[in-house]
Amino acid sequence: MPADPAEPELRALAPANDPTFDTIWDELVWRGLVHVSTDADALRTLLGGDPIVYYCGFDPTAPSLHLGNLVQLLVMRRLQLAGHRPLGLVGGSTGLIGDPRPSSERTLNPRETVEEWVAQLRAQIERFLDFGGSNPARMVNNLDWTAPLSAIDFLREIGKHYRVGAMLKKEAVAARLASDAGISYTEFSYQILQGMDYLELYRSYGCVLQTGGSDQWGNLTSGTDLIHRVEGASVHAIGTPLITNSDGSKFGKSEGNAIWLDAAMCSPYRLYQFWLNTGDADVIDRLKVFTFLSRDEIEQYARLVAEEPFRRAAQKRLAHEVTALVHGTDAAAAVIAASEALFGQGDLRALDADVLAQALRELPHAVVASGTPVVHALVEIGLVASASEARRAIAQGGVSVDGARVHDDTAVVTGSLPGAVSVLRRGKKTLGGAFTQA
């Protein structure tokens, strides 16, 4: 822990569990990661004993994972750090169907698209797991055992063990049946396919634990029930809570857009700013779920939030830790430098051109010709409503370009910063970006 925890270290923590907990189960509970589970006492004993095999599945319904998936990836990593053996499953077959949403039927994606997304998600999952050492991770694809299975074999070997009455009671199915959209037989069958996955992994790898979001609980127990009926064995499931903000708003959304783990879909700068904007009421819970900070460290940050919230120490540490986990320590350091420089605490000209461009795309911005008058650029970017307002702001000394105060309303934008861009500032906090072109 740094002597002054209000200033986050520029080096993110290496993932490690907190040794002050007796078992990883105790740590998961303290971090708020267990919303629902099979027998809690049995799980505590199981996870505190010899290594077990466990899995979590990820369906390729998009070209990237998002922050909700990150919860599962970090649970998997914590269990692996405790000595257990992870299976990362990418749903090459279930991704062709998609689990039922509460509101409407999913659009079925082309097979070629799903295959491409499988590869992309697999690469993302692999970044969070360790494939060496004494308990290496494995990646599996449920298309490998689903594709060779005929419809008749599926119905005889798997479908016969399911009762329609019980299937109808599953939360996702019940919600759809109560909606105007109803539910297709295709999506109704999803829970059977996920149950079959668990059975296959139990038989092939001795897998005895599945983790997932609590909204997937019906699908998780589909597998535990199937294994009990077919094999006479008791296996386990853990459902993590759905993360929501303290005000009830949806977590992981920014102006209607998901926060993705792919840098091309959500830049490291945007990811950093998302976490930096975490509210005081939520930040400690986020530190528990999304970082490897110890209980003692998190409790120190909780005191800072209570006593000195204006310092936003916990938010800075959270933003740095998660950005480093997802994109690496170099990317985290670069976006921190950009964030500080934009607000007058660093040299804009020393920034990486790509990171600076990421930052400016998150601000009001416009593409302007090199040599455009600052007055006109301010209007195009949207920092002022009119040229006359821009001239007044300049006359009052309230405009700067690339860190230098503008004194003359004939000044022009030259794109002098890395990447041929300029940063325009009106007042102390209103910023905009100009992407210049010849």
* Mean pLDDT in residue range 67-85: 97
Task: Locate 303 and state its tokens.
Answer: 């005191």
- The pLDDT, as a whole number, for residue 438 is 74
The mean pLDDT value for 29-47 works out to 98
Task: List the end-to-end C-alpha distance of the chain, in Å, as a whole number.
Answer: 49
- Give the pLDDT confidence score for residue 255 in this predicted structure: 47
Helix axes 268-276, 329-342, angle to 10 degrees: 70
Structural contact between residues 156 and 105, judged by C-beta atoms closer than 8 angstroms: no
In this model, does residue 234 exceed pLDDT 80? yes
Class of domain 363-437: alpha beta
CA distance 236 to 140: 19
430 bridge partner residues: 426
User: pLDDT at residue 244 above 90?
Assistant: no
pLDDT category at 13 given cuts 50, 70, 90 is low
Q: Determine the average pLDDT of the residues in 283-295.
A: 97
Question: What pLDDT is recorded for position 253?
Answer: 56
Q: Tens digits of per-residue pLDDT, 358-384?
A: 999 999 999 999 999 999 999 999 999
Nearest to 417 by CA among 429, 433, 431, 430: 433
Q: How many helices (H) and strands (E) does the chain have?
A: 19, 15
* CA–CA dist 308, 77 (Å, integer): 32
Pick the range with the lowest mean pLDDT from 245-259, 321-335, 374-388.
245-259
| Mean pLDDT of all residues in 256-265 | 87
Torsion over CA: 419, 420, 426, 428 (sign): positive
Residue (of 134, 14, 17) closest to 82 by Cα position: 17
3-state helix vs strand vs coil in the chain, percent to 5: 45, 15, 35
* Section 7-28 average pLDDT: 80
Bridge partners for 344 per DSSP: none
User: What amino acid occupies position 281?
Assistant: A
- pLDDT of the residue at 92: 95
CA atoms within 13 A of residue 10's CA, in its CB half-sphere? 7
Q: How far apart are CA 139 and CA 56, in angstroms?
A: 10
> Across the strands, what pairs with 85?
53
For domain 253-358, give its CATH number from 1.20.1740.10, 3.30.428.10, 1.20.210.10, 1.10.240.10: 1.10.240.10
Please give the Cα distance from 263 to 64 (Å, whole number): 9
The confidence score (pLDDT) of residue 257 equals 67
| Pairing mode, strands 404-405 and 207-213 | unpaired
* Bridge partners, 138 (sequence order): 87
**Residues pairing with 316 in the sheet:** none
Distance CA 271, CA 327 (A): 10
Q: Is the CATH number of domain 33-240 3.40.190.10?
A: no
Q: Estimate to the nearest angstrom the gap between the alpha carbon of 427 and the chain centroid.
A: 34
Q: Is the CB of residue 271 less than 8 Å from the CB of residue 327?
A: yes
Average pLDDT in the chain? 92
C-alpha–C-alpha distance, residues 389 and 376, integer Å: 11
Q: What is the mean pLDDT of residues 238-254?
A: 79
**Can you give the residue ranges of every domain in the chain?**
33-240, 253-358, 363-437
Residue 403 pLDDT more than 80? yes
pLDDT digits (tens, 9 = 90+) for 138-177: 999 999 999 999 999 999 999 999 999 888 988 888 888 8
- Select from 370, 413, 417, 378 the least CA-distant residue to 394: 378
Burial class of residue 239 (count of CB atoms within 10 Å of its CB; 0-12, 13-18, 19+): buried
The 3-state DSSP class for residue 60 equals coil
pLDDT for the residue 172:
83
